[in-house]
Amino acid sequence: MIQYPIPWPNGARCACAITFDMDADSLIHISRPKDSHNRLYPISMGQYGPMVAVPRILETYRRFGLKQSFFVPGWCIERYPGAVEAMLEGGHEVGHHGYLHEDPTAHSHDEQVDWFDRALAAHRQVGNTPRGYRAPVYNITQGVTDLLLERGFAYDSSLMGDDIPYLLDTAAGSLVEVPVHWGTDDWPPFAHYDEIGYLMPVKSPSSGLAAFFEEFEAHYEAGGFWHCIWHPFLTGRLARWRQVETWLESILESRDVWFATLGEIADHVRSISEAGEGTVRRDSLPYYTEPPSVTAGRRGNG
Amino acid sequence: MIQYPIPWPNGARCACAITFDMDADSLIHISRPKDSHNRLYPISMGQYGPMVAVPRILETYRRFGLKQSFFVPGWCIERYPGAVEAMLEGGHEVGHHGYLHEDPTAHSHDEQVDWFDRALAAHRQVGNTPRGYRAPVYNITQGVTDLLLERGFAYDSSLMGDDIPYLLDTAAGSLVEVPVHWGTDDWPPFAHYDEIGYLMPVKSPSSGLAAFFEEFEAHYEAGGFWHCIWHPFLTGRLARWRQVETWLESILESRDVWFATLGEIADHVRSISEAGEGTVRRDSLPYYTEPPSVTAGRRGNG
Amino acid sequence: MIQYPIPWPNGARCACAITFDMDADSLIHISRPKDSHNRLYPISMGQYGPMVAVPRILETYRRFGLKQSFFVPGWCIERYPGAVEAMLEGGHEVGHHGYLHEDPTAHSHDEQVDWFDRALAAHRQVGNTPRGYRAPVYNITQGVTDLLLERGFAYDSSLMGDDIPYLLDTAAGSLVEVPVHWGTDDWPPFAHYDEIGYLMPVKSPSSGLAAFFEEFEAHYEAGGFWHCIWHPFLTGRLARWRQVETWLESILESRDVWFATLGEIADHVRSISEAGEGTVRRDSLPYYTEPPSVTAGRRGNG
Amino acid sequence: MIQYPIPWPNGARCACAITFDMDADSLIHISRPKDSHNRLYPISMGQYGPMVAVPRILETYRRFGLKQSFFVPGWCIERYPGAVEAMLEGGHEVGHHGYLHEDPTAHSHDEQVDWFDRALAAHRQVGNTPRGYRAPVYNITQGVTDLLLERGFAYDSSLMGDDIPYLLDTAAGSLVEVPVHWGTDDWPPFAHYDEIGYLMPVKSPSSGLAAFFEEFEAHYEAGGFWHCIWHPFLTGRLARWRQVETWLESILESRDVWFATLGEIADHVRSISEAGEGTVRRDSLPYYTEPPSVTAGRRGNG
């Protein structure tokens, strides 16, 4: 079922990564800059992430001995340094996730460079040098991939081109792509955020989590890569996280899995590719240099 | 799983509160003021609350000996005094919920003060002095928290910053925050209200209620606080309420729970905090005094 | 659980009515009048109603000996007379449902009178004199209730003010209201109609129908009134209707139910009320004669 | 339950067709032509179709000996010829699906002819002569049906007028219609595509697929036609497809089904009709030559 299977370390049957994007209240500020500071409910909903959910998640990881990846906008690092320092102290990875969760497709390249570097500076402020990137709302552009290579990044995690990691070749070099997927993102089942234009029905914890657990079974059977894209203020809520924790415990006890940070996974994929131990899929950028023609004009005499 | 656990009265394992926001037909009037008076279906859908659901809910509470909280806009008190008087006669709490369910973020502070006091006057008309507040659409502002303290309120219930109650310190004093959460609000599973821009698929009674019951199990296990934010015209409908009633009966028989009004819960939290019997979490307002800078301008020579 | 219970004929425990609104392709024409005639897929989706679903539904009713109510826009009667004649020949009731499914709140009273009477003329053309009315999109207005009384109608079925039928008193006379509810309407679970601005996820037949069947159990227990508002092009689809049919068969065999047309139910309620055999709830119109004041202006010196 | 049953070849109880519309990234280009080339995530999400899902699907079909139909926009054939050639080499049918997934109702007839023929040219480039058509977003027009007949097509698969295939008669000739249905399309359960205005909650694989499997049971019982309209980037995802594969295997082992391409099914229906072996339903076009009058003007003295 998987065209370019990757042999995982120590013969593990399936690689696994839970990634948390800790956006906190950046979302309301970027969406409603005029009065977001006076919208206390969305702020508090976002702050639940760094203040309540992240300590809970880190405690679970500590108990299970897991090191996982977080993606945090630069502004959130400045605003909630304690949460980010706790991630780093716990041995987890903290990746680049923009400055204020700004959508790269909504800005010029110069603006984007500025946001990007401002975020990098925030990471460095807490002693972190991110090696991986996830675009806010997944909206990575060609310009950002170039920037990632210029800034020495090892991997991106914003695209949906495959089930398992692959290489992304560009003129300027090569990145590992650790792909995402809407079926393992927790916004569709759990987010309800009218203020930023995202109104989904909220699933019960068990019915919302069912999708993730079914995805695991399929990847485990196929020797693939189970990758969740979660958010502390959503899946880190008490009832949902308790079900995750119970499930995680049973998986760790009964299955042969390799839980790792995306950085470790990217490094593994890179080394497999370089050692020629497997055929890692390669994709090339740019996909396009200009928009496909969408005019229904008659061609020639046609 | 809970950072700042609160010891509940008499060693109860979990505090519980079902709160009903009785908005009646205020929603259609505030949303479509030009012709709402001629939109008979949304009016009747809202009136189901005070006329049909509230008597049903009060009867259940009476049978089970529960005292719970309601939040009612001032206009609804004036329009449906019988329903509110029945709440008060049953020993329940009636909190402040705006005048016509107006969104505080949509008005100037002066207008907001006017709405607020007009609502207070309506409460006093039926002999009620509200001690707690829930902002319409949860949209409490910094100005409203100041107003709550000026008017002598004990608690707010509009924020999502934690799983259990906490203290909200401001320059003007301190409120207890009794937090809410989209996962225990009945609009996502049951509301279908195109006229006010809220189109959700309607869940079956059992699948919609499942989320609330799963939340209870998690809070019960963690020694937390189970808090539902319901609406008479939604969860008070016959089939849904019958399932709630059956479930409530089994919980009351088999679990060690403390059902209380939000006022009682806020008082308990306040007294625990003052007696130093536990470390109640403290949050501070204002979160921000101005919008975070969201301009991608180059800083200095950067 | 029901404040004003109605004793049903022959001591039946629960009154039951499946009503089908046969809108056919009127919806696309009223929504997109400029090019609806060239939108073949929505036309065909709507025509599935009169051409495929109605014969199927009528056959089921015939086998089970049920007489039920349909509501059909006048234009649909003119366009699909065969389907309507088959309803009438089967002994079913055909109620008034506007002319082209026009929303009464979107038109002046004069226009509305014109639409209404044009629809009446279409009914008379097939020998039908409707005694009941359901407003398109439930949007009955005060003007339409007056019109119903002027035209001698016995009942309306557009409001949501109670679980069971009640009386609607106006200055001009009294109607029986046979109430509806979004929890027993099949648009939320089954409609997916982007062209008219209604995008819901489509439930599987069993999970979509679960809501209706749970509602039945609650009404049966309470001695109430189970009332489904369905549409041939949705619930009349093969897989959904097969599950309805199987369920109906088991209910008819095992329960003590009174399936009737809304006209029969309205007549029963009227006669119960007049005979003083029960206390039928009475509601009064107009709810309002003008919009509630929604200005936050200071009142007097307040 | 089926008015005009069709006898299937070799007495099979039910005809079955899984059709995949391989739209790849055409959707983002047609929706956001200005910057789609720089939106790498939607491009990669679409490319998952030809690059990952189609090989997986073809391998499953090969193992089970199935020949099925795909519909592919002309631009996708030019862009991903390998995927289309693999379909053709596997003996599958590749139908016409526009050029860049353009909506026929959004273009003049002349433009539409141009798009149509440009797509035809792309098909011919890979040696394919499509005999069937599915309109992008199902939006076939009267003009397109005429075009299908002019270009010698055998069938259309865009309408929802029945459960099983039927004939579509026009002044210019007759097409077989192989109908579709929103209840067996995988966009509602699985697509989440804000960039093109389609935000649905994402179901878990099992709960999303349940609708399709329930539909099968109903059609199998009724001797009908089970027809899924799927997309490689949705149902071809690892976890979903694995569940489909498992289910397919059990159906092929235990049931008496005829899996065929839509072309084979259309030919069968045509021959049944011509041989007089059954009464195939006939529908006639045009449905309308102009918009139904939707003015509420008074007619005559009425």
CA distance C279 to A153: 76
> What's the confidence (pLDDT) of residue C236?
98
Mapping DSSP to helix (H, G, I), strand (E, B) and coil, where does residue A268 land? helix
- Express each pLDDT in A153-197 by its tens digit: 999 999 999 999 999 999 999 999 999 999 999 999 999 999 999
Banded pLDDT at D297 (limits 50, 70, 90)? very low
Which of C137, C162, C287 should be substituted to probe chain B, the one whose Cβ sees the most B Cβ atoms within 10 Å? C287
What predicted TM-score, i.e. pTM, was given to this entire model? Answer: 0.96
CA distance A289 to A291: 7
The beta-strand segments (E) located in B73-200 are: 93-96, 132-133, 155-156, 166-170, 173-177, 192-193, 198-199
> What's the confidence (pLDDT) of residue C16?
98
Residue D60: inside a domain: yes
Does the pLDDT of residue D269 top 70, yes or no?
yes
| Angstroms from D300 CA to nearest CA on chain A | 46
> What's the confidence (pLDDT) of residue C276?
84
Please judge whether D205 and A211 are an interchain contact, meaning their C-beta atoms are less than 8 angstroms apart: yes
Q: How many domains does chain D have?
A: 1
What does the DSSP 8-state code read for residue B297? Answer: P
On chain A, the residues whose CB falls within 8 A of the CB of D116 are: none
Residue B142: inside a domain: yes
Does the pLDDT of residue B110 top 80, yes or no?
yes
Say if CB D156 and CB D168 are below 8 A apart: yes
Range B57-79 average pLDDT: 98
- Express each pLDDT in B230-267 by its tens digit: 999 999 999 999 999 999 999 999 999 999 999 999 99
> What's the confidence (pLDDT) of residue D290?
86
Mean pLDDT estimate for chain A: 95
Residue B293: inside a domain: no
Say if CB A144 and CB A248 are below 8 A apart: no
**What are the residues facing A227 on neighbouring strands?**
A17
Range A31-52 average pLDDT: 97
> What's the confidence (pLDDT) of residue D212?
98
Please judge whether D238 and A179 are an interchain contact, meaning their C-beta atoms are less than 8 angstroms apart: no
> What's the confidence (pLDDT) of residue D302?
30
> What's the confidence (pLDDT) of residue B299?
39
> What's the confidence (pLDDT) of residue D295?
56
If you measure CA to CA, which chain C residue comes closest to B31? C294
Token pair for A273:
């590719």
Which of C238, C243, C248 should be substituted to probe chain D, the one whose Cβ sees the most D Cβ atoms within 10 Å? C238
Banded pLDDT at B300 (limits 50, 70, 90)? very low
- Express each pLDDT in D114-123 by its tens digit: 999 999 999 9
What lies within 8 Å, CB to CB, of D291 at 6+ separation is C29, C33, C34, C35, C36, C37
Mean pLDDT estimate for chain B: 95
The b/e string for D274-294 (b: 16+ C-beta within 10 A; e otherwise) is: eeeeeebbebebbbbeeebeb
- Express each pLDDT in D3-33 by its tens digit: 999 999 999 999 999 999 999 999 999 999 9
> What's the confidence (pLDDT) of residue B301?
33
> What's the confidence (pLDDT) of residue A74?
98
Query: Could you tell me what percent of chain B has a pLDDT over 90?
Result: 94
3-state helix, strand, coil split of chain B in percent (to 5) is 50, 15, 35
Give the pLDDT of chain C (302 residues) as one tens digit per residue: 899 999 999 999 999 999 999 999 999 999 999 999 999 999 999 999 999 999 999 999 999 999 999 999 999 999 999 999 999 999 999 999 999 999 999 999 999 999 999 999 999 999 999 999 999 999 999 999 999 999 999 999 999 999 999 999 999 999 999 999 999 999 999 999 999 999 999 999 999 999 999 999 999 999 999 999 999 999 999 999 999 999 999 999 999 999 999 999 999 999 999 998 778 999 999 999 987 765 544 333 33
CA distance C58 to C21: 14
Which of A25, A27, A30, A41 should be substituted to probe chain B, the one whose Cβ sees the most B Cβ atoms within 10 Å? A41
Say if CB C161 and CB B44 are below 8 A apart: yes
* From C183, C199, C292, residue closest to B75, measured CB to CB: C292
* From D141, D218, D288, residue closest to C239, measured CB to CB: D218
> What's the confidence (pLDDT) of residue A293?
67
> What's the confidence (pLDDT) of residue C294?
59
Residue D226: inside a domain: yes
> What's the confidence (pLDDT) of residue C176?
98
On chain B, the residues whose CB falls within 8 A of the CB of C224 are: 238
* From A29, A38, A112, residue closest to B141, measured CB to CB: A38
On chain C, the residues whose CB falls within 8 A of the CB of D134 are: none
What does the DSSP 8-state code read for residue B160? Answer: -
On chain D, the residues whose CB falls within 8 A of the CB of C86 are: none
> What's the confidence (pLDDT) of residue A290?
86
On chain A, the residues whose CB falls within 8 A of the CB of B189 are: 201-202
Residue A291: inside a domain: no
If you measure CA to CA, which chain D residue comes closest to A4? D52
Residue A30: inside a domain: yes
> What sign has the CA pseudo-torsion A134, A139, A142, A143?
negative
Range D72-78 average pLDDT: 98
Interface predicted TM-score (ipTM): 0.96
| Angstroms from D80 CA to nearest CA on chain A | 12
Please judge whether B182 and A192 are an interchain contact, meaning their C-beta atoms are less than 8 angstroms apart: yes
Element of type H or E holding B262? helix B262-275
On chain B, the residues whose CB falls within 8 A of the CB of C283 are: 44
> What's the confidence (pLDDT) of residue D293?
67
Range A238-259 average pLDDT: 98
Please judge whether A30 and B207 are an interchain contact, meaning their C-beta atoms are less than 8 angstroms apart: no
> What's the confidence (pLDDT) of residue C105?
96
On chain A, the residues whose CB falls within 8 A of the CB of B158 are: 40-41
Residue A122: inside a domain: yes
Range A92-114 average pLDDT: 96
**What are the residues facing B132 on neighbouring strands?**
B155
Q: Which CATH number goes with the domain that contains A138?
A: 3.20.20.370
Identify residue B81 by its one-letter amino acid code: P
Residue A293: inside a domain: no
Does the pLDDT of residue D227 top 80, yes or no?
yes
Banded pLDDT at A294 (limits 50, 70, 90)? low
On chain D, the residues whose CB falls within 8 A of the CB of C192 are: 182, 188
Q: Is D127 exposed, middle or buried (0-12, 13-18, 19+ CB in 10 A)?
A: exposed
> What's the confidence (pLDDT) of residue D279?
86
Q: Is B18 exposed, middle or buried (0-12, 13-18, 19+ CB in 10 A)?
A: buried
* From C99, C117, C238, residue closest to D163, measured CB to CB: C238
- Express each pLDDT in B273-299 by its tens digit: 999 877 899 999 999 998 776 554 443
Residue C278 structural domain: 9-30+41-284
Say if CB D126 and CB D81 are below 8 A apart: yes
What's the full length of chain C, in residues? 302
**What are the residues facing B283 on neighbouring strands?**
B168
> What's the confidence (pLDDT) of residue D244?
98
Phi and psi at residue C67, in whole multiples of 5°?
Answer: -115, 125
CA distance C114 to D299: 9
| Angstroms from B203 CA to nearest CA on chain A | 9
> What's the confidence (pLDDT) of residue B293?
67
